[in-house]
Amino acid sequence: MDVLIRLIALLVVLLVGTGLRKSGILNAGRTAKLNALAYYVALPALIFVSTYDQAITELLSPALIGGLLLVLFLTAGVAWLVHRGRSSPGRSSVAIVQSYHSNLGYLGLPLVAATFDARVTAIASVILGVVTLTQLPLTILVLSTFNGADAALADELRGLATNPVLVSLVIGLAVGSSGIAVPPTAAAGLDGLGALALPLALLCVGASLQPEGTSVDFGAVGSVVAIKICCMPVLAWLVFSTLAVDPATLTATVVMFGTPTAVSTYVFAAELGGDREFASLNVFATTVVSIATLFVLITLVG
């Protein structure tokens, strides 16, 4: 029941964000500021407090890295088989990308932190770092290849070096591995900032949900939803059960991969020749439907 209440509250905050956008309170400028606060302050604080007291050897393992990459590329392969014949390259590329590119930062990690213990949250932080390093270049490569767009892949890769999510993860793991003591007052302050990550992120995602267009290809949207929020977490469950990892790792991977399509995929689609209306619909559909599927996943693995 607690999980259901949390997810209902998540949906309410999402809808509040959408309502604030429609009313004009969360206009483009204010949404950008809220995004910056979540992305550069709250989320890095959450990642640091989740990892600063644990050694890297306790969190990062060959099984975790190998399993994450296997799930990601298996899902991308399934998506390619299903979507490669869509009506246009712009639609095919978007469908493929949005079938595997997860909203790990704005929904995954904050939701895990609000629902599970510190061990699961720490592993989820590592998952966020490893998968971000992989899915971002893969998405740019798929979109630019299908659409013949000129993507500055090298610039995006260089940008990862200053990504606040990855920087905070590296610092947290370094502090935890070196045994450096963090003053309790500093830890408490960062913990308070980290607690803001989920509500801020939900408001931002809600303000970004703007389904465009009047004609909906229900078959295409439905297949993206099915692969992203059903097939991907099931693959994660199968892969990590086979790897015989500890329960915390299994829980973190299944829930993180069960998150909806990242809002950033809409931005990449618009910049790299993808079908932007289709991309917007997929973000909206996977986010709304994932409220129900995440309840099932959290109940099963929790």
CATH number of 296's domain: 1.20.1530.20
Rounded to whole angstroms, how far apart are CA atoms 84 and 99? 12
Identify the CA nearest to 104 among candidates 80, 132, 143: 132
Domain carrying residue 31: 2-209+217-301
Q: What is the pLDDT of residue 149?
A: 66
Q: How much is the pTM?
A: 0.89
Q: Picking from 65-79, 201-215, 269-283, which range would have the lowest pLDDT averaged per residue?
A: 201-215
What pLDDT shows up at residue 195? 85
Question: Each residue of 201-219: pLDDT tens digit?
Answer: 888 888 877 666 556 788 8
CB atoms within 10 A of CB 87: 11
To 10 degrees, what angle do helices 89-98 and 118-147 make? 170
Rounded to an integer, what distance in angstroms lies between the CA atom of residue 19 and that of residue 21? 5
Chain segment 215-253, per-residue pLDDT in tens: 678 889 999 999 999 999 999 999 999 998 899 999 999
Please tell me the total count of domains within the chain: 1
Mean pLDDT over each residue of the chain, to the nearest integer: 87
Q: Are 233 and 258 in contact (CB under 8 A)?
A: yes
